[in-house]
Structure 1
Amino acid sequence: MTATMQSKTEAASAPRRGRRVPGMGGKARPRGGALQLGHWWWALPGVVLVFAIHYVATGIGGFFAFTNWTGIGSFRMVGWENFAAIFRDPTKVGALVNTLFLAFGSVFLSNVAGLALALGLNRVLKTRYVLRTLFFMPVVLSPLATAYIWKYIFDFDGPINVFLNSIGAGDLAKPWLADPTWAVWTVLVVLVWGTTGITMVIYMAGLTGVPVEIEEAAAIDGANLWQRFSNVTLPAIRPALAIATTLGIVQGLRVFDPIMALTGGGPAGATETLATQVYKQAFALGNFGAGAALALVLALIILIFAVIQQRLTQSKSED
């Protein structure tokens, strides 16, 4: 009887398996293992979808870049012939130059304008909320719809030439979109107008992290407006600068809708970009292999510039 009671007492006082008792070195078994792993199952459909759309589709397109496939029927491997043809064709080389010009030109101008607007609207103004909405509105509008509006504005009988004629400057009026010299500049204006709003919002978010005390101390020490901006504000918004420039370069390199609506790549290929050439080669001319090669080149260019931008930003942040 005594032995039986003693064994029951020891069993009751012994720690249960899987539970941690204070003073003992055993580890507690994590509860809800299925629930902890459940977030992987929830994310699995999204991961599969992203992998299928981005990576599998890109891999298939990269494969067809080495073929002469027309989009239907059979095909044969042509190796690097499609890529060599890109650099032998003056139209495609010009499209590459236009792509880089529009990308870096729009990034520079939209960042300067967006930063200026952010600095101005960061002040205490009664109308700052209305102005922020107005300047951000081009971002949420359809690029294709706004491009058609700009097409009317730049038309020979459009508001710009009407205004120039009304002030006696009719000699400056010209068919802006039909002039090979000015067409690419009109496209650049439309791109800057459409992307300035998002850069403004990014810089306004970055300005919230600027220490007001340091700026006020610099002003008390006699620093002028430019010195306070270059030594206090600009270093503080460097992460915002990195985000705005990276997004701007990626968006500028793959611009398509405004060009197709404004000029269609003309006149005489003056506004052709790699994105418009991909569309024309693959879907208009039925040369899917050449279009896939151009798309692969465009993807590599975007990747290279994105990596360079991130490396430069990282090195500056460490400094």
Structure 2
Amino acid sequence: MMRSPRTVPWAFVAPAAVLTLLLLLGPSLLGGLSAFTDWDGLTAPSWVGLANFGEFFGEGSHVVAQTLVLAALYVVGVNAVGLGLALGLARTLRTRHVLRALFLVPAVVSPLVVAYIWKFILDVDGPLNELLEGTGLASFAQPWLGQRNTALVAVVIVMIWQFSGYHMLIYLAGVQSVQDELLEAAHVDGAGPWRRFRDITLPLLRPAVAIGTALSTISAFMLFDQVMALTGGGPAGGTDTLGTYVYKQAFVNGRYGYSAAVALLLVAGVCLAALVQVRGLRGRRA
């Protein structure tokens, strides 16, 4: 009996598909179902329907607002810095290869390592405040991670510092694809640096901008390590994001059903943001 040519490929795919179903999709589906229950991880779960979602929109709105503010600051900041670095290190500077490597180093280091280094720097008695006091700027010294009006900004700055080199590479590929002839022709026609950037370079960088924006948006929504290492979500929940909120509700408060509901909303938000970015990228290509 002869087998169909399609039988052999499925025979190779089947073991991986079964493992994926058992180890990834199955637990994910069970976790999604627990979002509709009141479960503490010890007793039998009880079905509560949409109550967990309603409770979150009632008491967790500040976490959503903080996540959106952090995401907006990070997306704008990291893409602006990355684009600036790419433009500055694109062609003319002799040491550009060394500088590119130096700017990329933080991106390949563990976020926890970077966060703990910056936590030491931004500590009340850390090097930053000592530097300000030593240069006669003691009035500017403050607990950067211990007050609400600076802690969230400090987290964003640390993230931008770490990942701007990664976004530099994205924009560098786009900048190097811009033909010199176009820029030279615009220069001959009397266009200044800003005019050449606005009318030639930036439109040709739209695919890179879409990719950089999509990646940074997803990273911002999934943020967890840096916040937990720098502030632990404090002070008084002032830097809590959706990721840290899910962790605290599950492993600190023991509200696994409620945390699963918030995690489900987080996944939906990330998927929606990614879908919008992908559709925007396709539209620009068209």
TM-score normalised over the length of structure 2: 0.93
The alpha-carbon deviation at position 159 of structure 1 amounts to 1.2
2:81 is the alignment partner of 1:113:
yes
2:201 is the alignment partner of 1:233:
yes
**1:138 equivalent in structure 2:** 106
**1:27 equivalent in structure 2:** none
Q: Secondary structure at the match of 2:156?
A: helix
Amino acid at match of 1:63: L
**2:171 equivalent in structure 1:** 203
5 Å matches for 1:156-195?
156-195=124-163
Alpha-carbon distance between aligned partners in 2 of 1:43 and 1:210, rounded to the nearest angstrom: 42
2:5 is the alignment partner of 1:61:
no
5 Å matches for 1:67-146?
67-89=37-59, 92-146=60-114
Gaps in structure 2 of 5+ consecutive residues: none
Name which one, 1 or 2, has greater alpha-carbon Rg.
Answer: 1
Structure 2 vs 1, CA of residues 231 and 282 (structure 1 numbering), >3 Å: closer, same or farther? Answer: same
Give the superposed CA RMSD: 1.9
Structure 2 vs 1, CA of residues 53 and 216 (structure 1 numbering), >3 Å: closer, same or farther? Answer: farther
Alpha-carbon distance between aligned partners in 2 of 1:298 and 1:76, rounded to the nearest angstrom: 23
Using the aligned pairs only, state the percent identity.
43
**2:271 equivalent in structure 1:** 303
Which of 276, 283, 288 aligns to 2:256? It is 288
Alpha-carbon distance between aligned partners in 1 of 2:20 and 2:206, rounded to the nearest angstrom: 31
Structure 2 vs 1, CA of residues 249 and 49 (structure 1 numbering), >3 Å: closer, same or farther? Answer: farther
**Count of aligned positions:** 284
Deviations 1:115-137 (A, max 9, x none): 00001111232211111111001
**2:226 equivalent in structure 1:** 258
Moved more, 40-49 or 153-162: 40-49
Gaps in structure 1 of 5+ consecutive residues: 1-32
Amino acid at match of 1:57: P
Amino acid at match of 2:224: F
Structure 2 vs 1, CA of residues 48 and 196 (structure 1 numbering), >3 Å: closer, same or farther? Answer: farther
Q: Secondary structure at the match of 2:46?
A: coil
The alpha-carbon deviation at position 79 of structure 1 amounts to 0.5
Alpha-carbon distance between aligned partners in 1 of 2:239 and 2:41, rounded to the nearest angstrom: 26
Q: Secondary structure at the match of 1:181?
A: helix
Amino acid at match of 2:50: W
Q: Secondary structure at the match of 1:82?
A: helix
Structure 1 stretches of 4+ moved >4 Å: 36-54
